[in-house]
Amino acid sequence: MSRGPHPDSIPDAARTKEARPLLEVRNLKTHFTTRSPFFGRSRGVVRAVDGVSLEVRRGETLGLVGESGCGKTTLARSILRLVEPTEGELHFDGEPILTMKGERMRRLRRKCQIIFQDPAASLNPRMEVGAAVDEVLRVHGLGGNARGRKGRVASLLEQVGLHPEHRHRFPHELSGGQRQRIAIARALAAEPELIVCDEPVSALDVSVQAQILNLLVRLQEELELAYLFIAHDLRVVGHLSHRIAVMYLGRIVEEAPAEVLLQEPRHPYTQALLSAAPALTGEEGKRRGSRIVLAGEPPSPVTPPEGCPFHPRCWHPDRDEACGRVVPGLKEDGKARRVSCIKLETTSKDSS
């Protein structure tokens, strides 16, 4: 079901300059201050992203999964500085993103593209889709003169599985899947190295979802793209990720190579997510046992729990008062896995 480790993945110690991560996120926090509509006074802080660290390497897909509201979109937008992070560090190809200005920021905005769940929202309803792709070429000074760009638009449409004649259509004349193909063509027009895909298939029919996912995989192989691929559905992420990170209430609770995470999830939250994924039945389902049903809803990011953010809903038999006191760090466990749980730190020395 998953793609296994990326061929270029190498241990930290062996990293050369060329092999450094394309995107590095270090202890990133993005908090929103909400104000009372009546008094205009500061009322609360939404800790949407609350200390996330992750890396995306060239040509690989990092899947990011978590329930609605856990901070995935805020993280995606923070990486491109569509929203300003509160704290932490971001590096793209070794360069700090948070202090970028002018030409460097424009280069980042070209090299790092984002695709949203609803392609209609990023397309001008009054613009033919060919012109919408051409606009990206013009903004970035790519594709040469008008004739050169026309040829480039035609080949981009073909690359995403559309007919060159589609360029004269308006967004409302296309299906949801075709609109998402146009959004992908626009992203590709910028010649990116990384595409942040924020739930790109969540709004599509299941049959169309598979086509778009296959297209993304093919494009990755052809163009050596890296993806940060966000979804709330573990099945979708499992399908195309080399590694998977699981997010809960603004933090990463577990991250591992896709195979490892899907076959042997360790964090009680990951185990619950997997046990609820309907496609994961049969042998895999039997081995994991019965479905884990979590009590209640995730807590509000305005008032996150003390200690482990998951402890109020944790079903693990070892949970105790320490879980409500100690903030767990993300610790390596020997299978290129990082897991954030104080009970797993102390109860398992060896997981190989």
2 touches Mg ion by CB under 5 A? no
Conformation bin of residue 171: beta by default, left when phi > 0, alpha when psi is -120 to 50: alpha
Instruction: Select from Mg ion, ligand ADP, none the partner in contact with residue 34, using the beta carbon and a kind-dependent cut-off of 5 to 8 Å.
Output: ligand ADP
The dihedral through the CA atoms of 102, 106, 109, 112 has a sign that is: negative
E-strand spans in 67-225? 87-92, 95-96, 112-115, 194-198
Residues 293-312 vs ligand ADP: string with x where CB under 6 A? --------x-----------
Phi, psi of 35 (to 5 degrees): -115, 150
Stretch that binds ligand ADP, among 3-11, 65-73, 84-92, 179-187 (CB under 6 A): 65-73
44 touches ligand ADP by CB under 6 A? no
Residue whose CB is less far from Mg ion, 61 or 73: 73
Task: Specify whether the CB–CB gap between 181 and 212 falls below 8 A.
Answer: yes
CB of 196 to Mg ion, least distance (A): 12
* Interacting residue with Mg ion among 73, 113, 209, 340 (CB under 5 A): 73
- Amino acid occupying residue 302: V
78 touches Mg ion by CB under 5 A? no
Residue whose CB is less far from Mg ion, 3 or 72: 72
Residue whose CB is less far from ligand ADP, 46 or 162: 46
Name beta bridge partners: 86: none
Of residues 157, 187, 188, the one with CA closest to residue 174: 157
What do you get for the CA distance between the two ends of the chain, in Å?
21
Residues 18-37 vs ligand ADP: string with x where CB under 6 A? --------------x-x---
Instruction: Select from Mg ion, ligand ADP, none the partner in contact with residue 97, using the beta carbon and a kind-dependent cut-off of 5 to 8 Å.
Output: none
Burial (Cβ within 10 Å: 0-12, 13-18, ≥19) of residue 293: exposed
Distance from CA of residue 94 to its chain's centroid? Answer: 20
Element (H, E) at 282: helix 282-288
73 touches ligand ADP by CB under 6 A? yes
Residue with tokens 């896709």: 258
* Interacting residue with ligand ADP among 59, 71, 298, 328 (CB under 6 A): 71
Instruction: Select from ligand ADP, Mg ion, none the partner in contact with residue 178, using the beta carbon and a kind-dependent cut-off of 5 to 8 Å.
Output: none
Number of residues that bind ligand ADP (CB under 6 A): 13
74 touches ligand ADP by CB under 6 A? yes
- How many other CB atoms are found less than 10 A from the CB of residue 115? 24
Interface residues toward ligand ADP, by CB under 6 A: 32, 34, 46, 48, 66, 68-74, 301
Interface residues toward Mg ion, by CB under 5 A: 72-73
